[in-house]
Structure formats: C-alpha cells, structure tokens
Amino acid sequence: MNSCLIIAGEKSGEEHALSFFSDLKKKSPETHFYGVGGDELQREGLELLYHLKDFSSWGYSGVITKIPFYLKAMDHILAEVDRRGTRTAILVDYQSFNLKLAGKLKERGVEVLYYVAPQAWAWKEYRVKKLSKFVHTLFTIIPFEKKWFFDRGVKRVVGIDHPLWTTYQKELTGFKSRDLSTPVHLLLLPGSRQFEVESLMPAFIESIKMLQKEIPLEISIVKSSSVREELFEPYNKYFHKIYANEELVKALKEADFAFAASGTVTLTCALFEVPTIVCYKTSLLNQFIYENLVSYRWFISLANIVQNRSVFPELLQDQVNGYNIVSQFKNWYYNKEKYLETKKRLSETKQLVRGEGMDIPAYMADVINNSYGKKDLTS
C-alpha cells in the first residue's frame, strides 16, 4: 500500500488540511495517511503519530523549551518514513519544524508538497532557497505570493483557494450583511492557545464593562477545545451565549462586531463581514526579538494582509487595553458611514482569496501515485 505523511502541527494547520483531505482520500484510495494532526483529522482517517496538542507552542520562548521534544519527534517521524517506504509528504504550514523536515525528506527521495507557503516575504527570506531545493510543489494562499516566490526561484508554485474559502464557501453563498442590531451582538474570539486567552480576556472584559455603561450589548464567545475551561471560569458570567469551535459560523452570522486574537480567525471574520478589533500580546522575549531582529513592519492580521490595507484595527502588546479597544469600537458604533464602508470593504474579501481553480486533491493524488512509479511531473 502507498503511504503519505501529513504534518499539521497546529490547529490552523489542521483546518487547512481538512480542506483537501477528504477528497484526497477518495482520489487516492490505496494510500494510507499518517502523521501529525488533531481530533478532526483523526476522525477523517489520519493515523496519528503525534497529536497537534503535543506540538503546540508559540513564539521563540515557547519553541526553545520544546526543542528536545521536536528533535525526538522528527527522528521518530523520519524512522516511520523509512520503515513504511513513504515517498510523498504533505507538510502544512508550521514553518520552523516543517522546513527542517522537508530537507531531511528530500535526502530520502520523498516528494514534498508544501501546503500554505511560509511568510518569507515578512521575514527570513532565506527560506525561499530551502523551498526551491526541497519542495516539489509550493501552494500559496495570499494573492501576491505566487509571483513573489516564483520570481525568487521556486519554480512550481500553485495559487490555491484559501482553505477558509474552501471550508466556508457554501455558508458564504448568498450571504447578506445586516445593519447593527439592538442590543449589539459582540463576539469574543480570544484564540486557541492558553497564553492568548490568559493575556487577552482581561482586556476584553475590561472593555465590555466600559461599553455596557452606554451601549446595550449581548456578549458571545467561541471557546476553543484546546484551551483549559478553568481559564474562562472567571468570565463566564459575562457571556450570553457560548459556542464551540465547530459553531464559529453560527456565531459570526449573529455578530455585529468581534474582538479577536490575531490569527486565521481574523480572515474568517472578514469573509463573514464582521468588523473586528484584532489584538495581539506575546512575551517580552518574543517582543524583544521581533523589534530587534525582524525587519517586517506591516500588518499582523491575515485579514489586513489579504486586503493589503487596514480594514481591521490592530492593537499590539501594551496597546491591548480596555481604553484602546473601546475607542476603536466607538469609531465604528457612532459612525455609521464608517461602519458601512468597512462592511463594503469586507465584502470584497471573498474574491481576494480565490485561487487558480485547480483540483488540488487530484493534483496531490497524482503526485502520490506517480511517486511510486517515478513519473516526471515537472512538465
């Protein structure tokens, strides 16, 4: 039986993989898939060597403490690749780990499909050389990326529909935005990592207390299953509705505004035309490294990066406090023209995340099947 390694080392990576995995299995039914993923990929049939919760870390300080684990995990994964005679791997995002793994897989003659290009245009541009050497095909999801990588030496680049479009397009078809409701429906999206909830929830609640003095609010929250419930317990009294991960669409369709951690979810908010205040806080070590070693000084939220303009306010580090969140909220709430202009810009997001229209699962299946026959796919 053919085998294919899949590495989706964090929740957003699993969501990306879910956009193609079901169809890929149908198009390559003789292939056994194994690797790293979460509960949903496991339910779809991925044999887990590691659960993505084991791989979860954030920022430099989080990664440093887990280096021994990552080294051991990489050795184990490569041993399984050798034992199973695997000839194809699909590496999903998760740049630091997957780029190192890609080089070791290339040494073994494994064809590497890299799904969701590293943001080398933001920092560490030298990674482009690794991609050009190690990767069979690079899949990009942001409009300008295909040309950017191709111009720098990655010769097989495929611009694809953003996985969020693939996931939500049925819900977005015929979707109509609505005016502000009374009370205002405010959705909290504090993230899928422990540190995000710990650092952002106090500021979110502080802003809610301030807003409730003059604006009627109905507060809802999406709680990630990867975050311990006790982190939410001090705030549960403020929530009118609580949604699970899989209820995100329902929550967004009912929301007038959102407060969100920076991440993939900000693009989901844009697709569902929900004006969102994006917040990001990290450790002092990570902040120091970013400010002194990273040259990238553009948007941090995926919604703004895709739009290539500021549609969502971004609050970073010490800017994340009740006063600033409230000020940004009022800029929309008391200025209907600005609110509607933002909604109009957000309505354009759906077109911006469309790719070339290629059947990606079929393409992947061809690479998997032909890797055993060594048919040349470069033409």
Task: Give the model confidence (pLDDT) of 180-229 as tens digits.
Answer: 768 999 999 999 888 899 999 999 999 999 999 999 999 999 999 889 99
Average pLDDT rounded to a whole number, residues 228-249: 94
> What does each C-alpha distance from 65 to 12, 55, 191, 200 come to in angstroms?
22, 12, 21, 23
Evaluate if residue 375 carries a pLDDT over 60: no
Do 147 and 252 sit in the same domain of this protein?
no
Do 135 and 258 sit in the same domain of this protein?
no
Task: Give the model confidence (pLDDT) of 162-185 as tens digits.
Answer: 878 888 888 987 655 566 768 999
Note whether residue 239 is domain-resident.
yes
The pLDDT assigned to 226 comes to 82
Average pLDDT rounded to a whole number, residues 58-72: 73
Tell me which residue range forms the domain holding 50. 2-161+355-373
How confident is residue 54, by pLDDT bands cut at 50, 70 and 90? Answer: confident
Task: Give the model confidence (pLDDT) of 23-49 as tens digits.
Answer: 999 999 999 999 999 999 999 999 999
Task: Give the best-scoring range by mean pLDDT among 79-83, 120-124, 354-358.
Answer: 79-83
Over pLDDT 70: what percentage of the chain? 89
The pLDDT assigned to 156 comes to 94
Q: What stretches of the chain adopt beta strand conformation (E)?
A: 2-7, 31-37, 47-51, 88-92, 111-115, 137-140, 157-159, 184-189, 217-223, 241-244, 257-261, 276-280, 314-316
Note whether residue 259 is domain-resident.
yes
Note whether residue 378 is domain-resident.
no
Do 233 and 310 sit in the same domain of this protein?
yes
How confident is residue 298, by pLDDT bands cut at 50, 70 and 90? Answer: low
The pLDDT assigned to 283 comes to 53
Q: Hey, how many other C-beta atoms are within 10 angstroms of the C-beta on 45?
A: 12
Q: How many domains does the chain have?
A: 2
Task: Give the model confidence (pLDDT) of 101-157 as tens digits.
Answer: 999 999 999 999 999 998 777 667 778 999 999 999 999 988 889 999 999 999 899
Q: What is the mean pLDDT of the chain?
A: 88
Do 103 and 36 sit in the same domain of this protein?
yes
Q: Among 97, 146, 136, which residue's Cα sits nearest to residue 114?
A: 136
Do 87 and 214 sit in the same domain of this protein?
no
The pLDDT assigned to 149 comes to 94
329-338 contact pairs (CB < 8 A, 24+)? 329/207, 329/211, 329/257, 329/277, 332/257, 332/275, 333/180, 333/184, 333/215, 333/257, 336/180
The pLDDT assigned to 300 comes to 82
Over pLDDT 90: what percentage of the chain? 66
- For residue 320, the domain's CATH number is 3.40.50.2000
Evaluate if residue 288 carries a pLDDT over 50: no
**Rounded distance between C-alpha atoms, residue 49 and residue 77, angstroms:** 8
Evaluate if residue 293 carries a pLDDT over 80: no
Do 310 and 359 sit in the same domain of this protein?
no
Rounded to 5°, the CA angle 181-332-244 comes to 55
Query: Which residues are bridge partners to 314 per DSSP?
Result: 278
